[in-house]
Amino acid sequence: MKQGALYLRKGREKSLLRRHPWIFSGAVERVEGIPERGATVAIHASDGRFLACGAYSPDSQLRARVWSFDPAEQINADFFARRIARALAYRAFLGYDAPQGACRLLAAEADGLPGVTADRYGDWIVVQISSAGAERFKHVIADALLAKTNCRGVYERSDLAARKKEGLAECAGLLAGEMPPESLSIVENGLRFRVDVFRGHKTGFYLDQKENRCAVASLSAGRRVLNCFAYTGTFGVCALKGGAVHVTNVDSSRPALECAEENFRVNSLPASAYENVEADVFAYLRHCRESGRTFDMVILDPPKFIDSKNALMRGCRAYKDIALLGFQILNPGGLLVNFSCSGLMERPLFQKITADAALDAGREARILRELSQAPDHPVPLAFPEALYLKGIVSIVR
Ligand code: SAH
């Protein structure tokens, strides 16, 4: 049942005709009816042509998000069951369906489900709901996820500040099935990692770095590694398994480092091979430079420094600062593994910032590998905004 209709301004139908799923407030000419927050509305071009149906967000600049471009498709439990089945089939195709493994099952727009993220950790699923439209259907989505997987419970971690823009409060709690356990772990490439679904970042774990953990392992042999913004230390564990001689994990979060400690222990890594340092990375890198401490690999995986266009300049400076310090403390032949998860930072700009940092550090460097997000975080050709994680591995002379 559609509760109303949006008519777009003349010419503003172009992005929808290219299958882009967002309608900004400035594109809307008029609203017919009085749709409620999150209601499904029909979206028409100015000449009345049907374009799509989508979820209405009266409180947000992102006024509507497309559910379907098919005029015959009803947005109901069957619709969500079909989208979820399609998303699960894709993860199975990727081979990301090992029972004790973990993967992103639903990646919002990239799976045709704006506002819906779902991650599977073994037998448990954690969802995040970030739009008014998705909020309406979250129980339907949770039930369908449980029915279509062999999982035991679906827990919600919608403690997201961004929900405010949608007129929604932050929330967390059980949505379907049983409550996940306090102590949960997953297996990835034969390594065991602890996931704190209740207090961890995002839904508990950085699934998007899955393939990059393998890349780090493959480049680590014989190296002394500095793992900055380590969180639960997964890059460090992979580096040691890949033959690194020592890993220093640095993070400002004590609970994250406690979890890192466990991750090193359960993977049988000797305490002499790693250290966990609670510190500010900027200060720690400066301290290394000042004291002449050097490494053969420096990993920089900071939090999102750019979350709006206003923060672009400031964020770029922060990325440049840490990359500069990273280059300064690399031994000859060392590797800088530099990431940005800011969607607003495009790869060419990130490469330029990394190049500027090398130049200022007086180091000559080449691109050894270009990294991206794991394929369970897909990027539709029609929705390039889904690409947010970029990594550059540079090797210095
Ligand atoms: N590399 C991790 C994910 C990093 S998330 C992984 O692959 O699992 C970013 C981390 O940076 C968080 O753990 C956060 O606690 C930490 N952090 C944010 N700002 C920091 C700072 N200034 N100094 C040290 N750690 C910081």
For 182, what's the count of Cα atoms within 13 Å in the CB-facing half-sphere?
Answer: 0
Spacing, Cα 134 to ligand 1 middle (Å): 29
Q: Which of 298, 292, 295 lies closest to 323, judged by CA?
A: 298
Atom of ligand 1 nearest to the CA of 227: 1
How large a percentage of the chain has pLDDT more than 70?
99
One DSSP character per residue, 284-335 reads HHHHHHHHT--EEEEEE----S-SSGGGHHHHHHHHHHHHHHHHHTEEEEEE
- Residues written for the chain: 397
Summarize the confidence of residues 258-276 as an average pLDDT. 98
Tell me the pLDDT tens digit for each residue of 356-378.
Answer: 999 999 999 999 999 999 999 99
Tell me the pLDDT tens digit for each residue of 2-56.
Answer: 789 999 999 999 999 999 999 999 999 999 999 999 999 999 999 999 999 999 9
Q: For atom 18 of ligand 1, which residue has the closest CA? A: 303
Spacing, Cα 207 to ligand 1 middle (Å): 15
Output the ligand 1 site: residues, CB below 6 A. 201, 206, 209, 229-232, 234-235, 251-253, 256, 280-282, 301, 303
Question: Measured between alpha carbons, how far is 352 from 358 in angstroms, rounded to an integer?
Answer: 10
Q: Which of 92, 107, 94 lies closest to 150, judged by CA?
A: 92
Tell me the pLDDT tens digit for each residue of 196-226.
Answer: 999 999 999 999 999 999 999 999 999 999 9
Assess whether pLDDT exceeds 80 at residue 293.
yes
Mutation pick for ligand 1 pocket among 249, 251, 317 (CB with most ligand atoms within 8 Å) = 251
Q: Looking at residue 3, what is its pLDDT?
A: 81
Question: Measured between alpha carbons, how far is 126 from 117 in angstroms, rounded to an integer?
Answer: 8
For 166, what's the count of Cα atoms within 13 Å in the CB-facing half-sphere?
Answer: 26
Mutation pick for ligand 1 pocket among 196, 214, 231, 264 (CB with most ligand atoms within 8 Å) = 231
Record the tokens describing residue 302, joined without a space. Answer: 């900071």
Q: Phi/psi at 298 (nearest 5 deg)?
A: -120, 120
From the list 103, 238, 288, 341, the catalytic residue is 341
Mutation pick for ligand 1 pocket among 199, 212, 235, 252 (CB with most ligand atoms within 8 Å) = 252
Assess whether pLDDT exceeds 80 at residue 230.
yes
Q: Which residue has the tokens 């995040």?
A: 128
Spacing, Cα 33 to ligand 1 middle (Å): 46
Spacing, Cα 204 to ligand 1 middle (Å): 13
One DSSP character per residue, 64-133 reads EEEEES-TT---SHHHHHHHHHHHHHHHHHHT---TT-EEEEEEGGGGT-TTEEEEEETTEEEEEE-SHH
Summarize the confidence of residues 259-264 as an average pLDDT. 98
Tell me the pLDDT tens digit for each residue of 70-113.
Answer: 999 999 999 999 999 999 999 999 999 999 999 999 999 999 99
pTM above 0.85, yes or no: yes
Assess whether pLDDT exceeds 90 at residue 146.
yes
Spacing, Cα 315 to ligand 1 middle (Å): 15
The DSSP symbol for 194 reads: E
Find the angle CA(353)-CA(358)-CA(363) to the nearest 5 degrees. Answer: 170
Q: For atom 10 of ligand 1, which residue has the closest CA? A: 229
Which uninterrupted H or E stretch holds 6? strand 4-8
Question: Measured between alpha carbons, how far is 86 from 54 in angstroms, rounded to an integer?
Answer: 19
One DSSP character per residue, 197-212 reads TTTSSTTSS-GGGHHH
Atom of ligand 1 nearest to the CA of 253: 15
Mutation pick for ligand 1 pocket among 229, 285, 301 (CB with most ligand atoms within 8 Å) = 229
Q: Looking at residue 183, what is its pLDDT?
A: 87
Assess whether pLDDT exceeds 80 at residue 269.
yes
How large a percentage of the chain has pLDDT more than 90?
99
Assess whether pLDDT exceeds 90 at residue 155.
yes
Spacing, Cα 356 to ligand 1 middle (Å): 23
Assess whether pLDDT exceeds 70 at residue 1.
no
Atom of ligand 1 nearest to the CA of 206: 8
Summarize the confidence of residues 275-283 as an average pLDDT. 98
Tell me the pLDDT tens digit for each residue of 310-341.
Answer: 999 999 999 999 999 999 999 999 999 999 99
Spacing, Cα 55 to ligand 1 middle (Å): 34
Q: Which of 369, 359, 290, 312 lies closest to 336, judged by CA?
A: 369
Spacing, Cα 250 to ligand 1 middle (Å): 8
For 146, what's the count of Cα atoms within 13 Å in the CB-facing half-sphere?
Answer: 16
**Structural domains in the chain plus CATH codes:** 4-68 (2.30.130.10), 77-181 (3.30.750.80), 206-396 (3.40.50.150)
Find the angle CA(267)-CA(271)-CA(274) to the nearest 5 degrees. Answer: 90
Summarize the confidence of residues 290-308 as an average pLDDT. 98
Q: For atom 22 of ligand 1, which residue has the closest CA? A: 280
Q: Identify the three-state secondary structure at position 262.
A: helix
β-pairing, 246-251 with 224-228?
A: parallel
Q: Looking at residue 260, what is its pLDDT?
A: 98
Q: Note whether 138 and 123 are within 8 A (CB).
A: no
Q: For atom 15 of ligand 1, which residue has the closest CA? A: 253
Q: For atom 3 of ligand 1, which residue has the closest CA? A: 231
Atom of ligand 1 nearest to the CA of 233: 8
Summarize the confidence of residues 141-150 as an average pLDDT. 97
Catalytic residue check, 341: yes
β-pairing, 295-300 with 330-340?
A: parallel
